[in-house]
């Protein structure tokens, strides 16, 4: 049986991106999950019914620890002799592609779920571009999560290999039965919802790069004009990395129409309790939260960035505005509060758009077919030698 090693830097990513997928793949392949040690890795192994291997990997650059991780990966790949190594997330991609290249693993795949270098500057940008170039150089196959990521890789000269987006993009798809306005979800949502007000929701890390400074400034202006609007922030503060401004933090604390609820394991009822998602991020790979919102019938206000512009079609299931633009965000939010018929039209298309492009079974089938295509081609190459 063909052996596949699927890897991410930290086990929570393996848990999130590959939930259910590894179990499906194990019906046809011998699948191993590889990531840094942690309870989430054990959880993945039990839930998916697969063997797991833990190798410490740092998310940030750490030369001595990175070399140690690389050596451990090389030893592991020599021992396991996988036919396919498929990595996701930046550090796992760099280390696993290098190690699998050294070990001459026949098929070396990396999925880019997002790129950091396009918004970086100076030396940091050069280092990030170099690591992405090295990852691509060692890989035999590259999967960009969306067309925007694909274009960035090609236009910045990171790779010249033939790369393609699987399906319509996105790497995990969405379970439409789970993300539905079920009686259970609506019962919880109705305890939150104020039917006489218009509620916006943001889901993600409360950091500068998610456009939180612009969001809070725009909402603050709007809330002074309209006392029947709310903003719910779902997600954790990350003060140690890319923090929001002190002004923004103060406004969140004093504005009684902004509700913060922290990280939530289940966001369905929070989404169902609101009228629209606002997601003014500066950069993304392919934001799952926009898909989740659409599945629950919410239109979105998003910025014109990778992923978001592929999920949202202007005036069909949402609105697209420039990033870093507080005025555009303010006017878009104001339009939503003033034009209920427009919002209702967007809402009707939201779930339909998600179902036609990102249903989980379809997304997984695209990947499984990709594996089959690769294996067929490698078998043909063997037969000609």
Q: What is the pLDDT of residue 59?
A: 86
Q: What is the distance between the alpha carbons of residues 231 and 190, in angstroms, rounded to a whole number?
A: 16
Q: What is the distance between the alpha carbons of residues 228 and 181, in angstroms, rounded to a whole number?
A: 24
Please give the structure tokens belonging to residue 11: 């086990």
Q: What is the pLDDT of residue 381?
A: 54
Q: Are residues 290 and 199 in the same domain?
A: yes
**Residue 286 burial (CB count, 10 A):** 27
Q: Do 329 and 278 form a contact (C-beta atoms < 8 A)?
A: yes
Q: What is the distance between the alpha carbons of residues 278 and 275, in angstroms, rounded to a whole number?
A: 10
| 73 Rama sector, left if φ>0, alpha if ψ -120 to 50, beta otherwise | alpha
Q: Are residues 135 and 211 in the same domain?
A: no
Return phi, psi of residue 24, to 5°.
-65, -45
Burial profile 101-121: b = 16 or more Cβ within 10 angstroms, e = fewer = bebebbbbbbbbbbbbbbeee
Q: What is the pLDDT of residue 115?
A: 83
Q: Are residues 217 and 115 in the same domain?
A: no
- Residues with Cβ within 8 Å of 142's Cβ and at least 6 positions away in sequence, in order, are 109, 110, 111, 112, 136, 153, 159, 161, 163
Q: Do 161 and 136 form a contact (C-beta atoms < 8 A)?
A: yes
How many domains are there within the chain?
A: 2
Q: Are residues 292 and 150 in the same domain?
A: no
Q: What is the distance between the alpha carbons of residues 316 and 169, in angstroms, rounded to a whole number?
A: 19
Q: Are residues 344 and 370 in the same domain?
A: no
3-state secondary structure of 290: helix
Q: Calculate what percentage of the chain has a pLDDT beyond 90.
A: 86
CATH, residue 272: 3.40.50.2000
Range of the domain at 7: 3-173+360-383
Q: What is the pLDDT along the chain (385 residues), one digit of tens a residue?
A: 899 999 999 999 999 899 999 999 999 999 999 999 999 999 999 999 999 999 999 988 888 999 999 999 999 999 999 999 999 999 999 999 999 999 999 999 999 988 888 878 888 889 999 999 999 999 999 999 999 999 999 999 999 998 989 999 998 899 999 999 999 999 999 999 888 899 999 999 999 999 999 999 999 999 999 999 999 999 999 887 789 999 999 999 999 999 999 999 999 999 999 999 999 999 888 999 999 999 999 999 999 999 999 999 999 999 999 999 999 999 999 999 999 999 999 999 999 999 999 999 999 999 999 999 999 876 655 554 4
Q: Are residues 366 and 350 in the same domain?
A: no
3-state secondary structure of 337: helix
Q: What is the distance between the alpha carbons of residues 110 and 96, in angstroms, rounded to a whole number?
A: 9
The pTM of this model reads 0.88
Please give the structure tokens belonging to residue 191: 């305890």
DSSP per-residue codes, 140-181: SEEEESSHHHHHHHHHTTS--S-----TTS-SS-B-TTTSS-
């Amino acid at each position: 049986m063909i052996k596949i090693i699927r890897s991410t830097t930290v086990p929570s990513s393996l848990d999130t991106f590959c939930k259910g997928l590894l179990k499906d793949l194990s019906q046809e392949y011998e699948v191993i999950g590889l990531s840094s040690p942690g309870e989430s890795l054990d959880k993945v192994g039990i839930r998916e019914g697969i063997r797991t291997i833990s190798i410490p990997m740092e998310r940030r650059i750490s030369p001595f620890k990175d070399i140690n991780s690389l050596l451990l990966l090389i030893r592991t790949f020599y021992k396991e002799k996988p036919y396919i190594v498929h990595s996701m997330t930046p550090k796992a991609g760099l280390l696993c592609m290098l190690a699998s290249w050294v070990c001459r693993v026949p098929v070396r795949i990396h999925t880019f779920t997002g790129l950091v270098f396009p918004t970086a500057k100076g030396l940091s940008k050069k280092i990030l571009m170099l690591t992405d170039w090295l990852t691509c150089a060692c890989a035999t196959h590259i999967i960009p999560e969306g067309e925007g990521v694909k274009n960035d890789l090609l236009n910045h000269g990171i790779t010249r290999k033939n790369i393609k987006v699987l399906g319509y993009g996105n790497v995990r798809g969405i379970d439409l039965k789970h993300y539905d306005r079920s009686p259970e979800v609506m019962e919880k949502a109705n305890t939150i919802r104020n039917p006489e007000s218009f509620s916006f929701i943001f889901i993600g890390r409360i950091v500068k790069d998610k456009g939180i400074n612009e969001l809070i400034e725009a909402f603050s202006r709007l809330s002074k004009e309209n006392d029947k609007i709310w903003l719910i922030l779902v997600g954790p503060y990350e003060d140690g990395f890319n923090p929001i401004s002190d002004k923004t933090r103060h406004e969140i604390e004093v504005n009684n129409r902004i509700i913060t609820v922290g990280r939530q394991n289940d966001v369905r009822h929070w989404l169902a309790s609101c009228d629209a998602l606002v997601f003014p991020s500066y950069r993304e790979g392919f934001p799952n939260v926009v898909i989740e919102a659409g599945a629950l019938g919410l239109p979105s206000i998003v910025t014109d960035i990778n992923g978001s512009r592929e999920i949202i079609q202007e005036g069909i299931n949402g609105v697209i505005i420039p990033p870093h633009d507080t005025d555009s965000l303010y006017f878009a939010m104001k339009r939503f509060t003033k034009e209920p018929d427009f919002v209702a039209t967007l809402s009707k298309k939201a779930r339909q758009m998600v179902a036609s492009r990102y249903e989980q079974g379809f997304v997984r089938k695209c990947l499984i077919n990709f594996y089959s295509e690769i294996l067929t081609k490698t078998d043909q190459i063997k037969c000609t030698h």
